[in-house]
Amino acid sequence: MTRVSLLGIPNDENSSFLRGPAEAPPLIRRELFCDAYSMWSETGIDLGAEGRLQDRGDLKFEPGQDPWEAIEQGVARVLATGDSLISLGGDHAITHPILRAVRQRHPKLAILHIDAHADIYDAYEGNRRSHASPFARIMEEGLADRLVQVGLRTINDHHRDQFKRFSVEVIEAAKFSDDLRLEFSTPVYISLDLDGLDPAHAPGVSHREPGGLSVRQVLNLIHRIDQPIVAADIVEYNPRCDFMTMTATVAAKLAKEIAGAMLRNGRGC
């Protein structure tokens, strides 16, 4: 049976401004499984069907262990079951070790990255593991063949140099169109930073940047992907900045629709 697994990765050690995203996974999970909402996705998939959505709980970090090793190993264990995976962060730094595990199973892989920020600094404030730097590490290590970044609205000259260095495809928020359809020829990994949404839709983030995408625009972009979505992360939800769990509800909706698209599209290899 085709299944999707959820794995919480409660780590925000590399956040540059506020802590809080480490507290996110159980709150997103609570909204996702709340009886107030249907488990049917807009793709026509019943995620409430027995065994279809597997909750693997939250990753545990042991004292003295490198968190990057713990994340890579934890993700690898889930992927070894054959399930597609949605990781609930955590800050955006966790995407780097996640991709180390995903790449081992997918020799061809494209990343769709939705965010207000490029997160491609060579290092931010001297930290090469910063949540502002994961995509520099990912592309340096050859963990993806293609990187498409959508929704950016804080680009600087260093980012532009990095875009050229890594052949990044960028669609800024100002140039986004509602009919955008991205064409992929390989399996896809989705990395969804909640501040890619306009803060009117998702206020519970550490770095609010007005002028972002709507929930519907992000959903439409995901629904139009016609290649297997093999893994995804939803990151940077900060419950300490939220209003009445509004952003947790949005994160749960996005998780549900990504899971539905994974099951509809099937899994790539």
Bind-site residues for Mn(2+): 92, 115, 117, 119, 193, 195
Structure tokens, 97: 């070790």
Query: Are 41 and 260 contacting, i.e. CB atoms less than 8 angstroms apart?
Result: yes
| Helix, strand, coil shares, percent, the chain, to 5 | 35, 20, 45
Residue 193's DSSP bridge partners are 235
Structure tokens, 34: 């709340």
Bind-site residues: 92, 115, 117, 119, 193, 195
Chain-centroid distance, C-alpha 28:
13
CA distances from 116 to 82, 120, 174, 177, 224 (A): 32, 12, 11, 16, 21
Residues 6+ apart with CB under 8 A from 35: none
Query: Are 259 and 47 contacting, i.e. CB atoms less than 8 angstroms apart?
Result: yes
Query: Are 234 and 254 contacting, i.e. CB atoms less than 8 angstroms apart?
Result: yes
Distance, in Å, from the CA atom of 200 to the CA atom of 150, rounded to the nearest integer, reads 18
Residue 18 CB-density burial (10 A; 0-12 exposed, 13-18 middle, 19+ buried): middle
How many residues make up the chain in this entry?
269
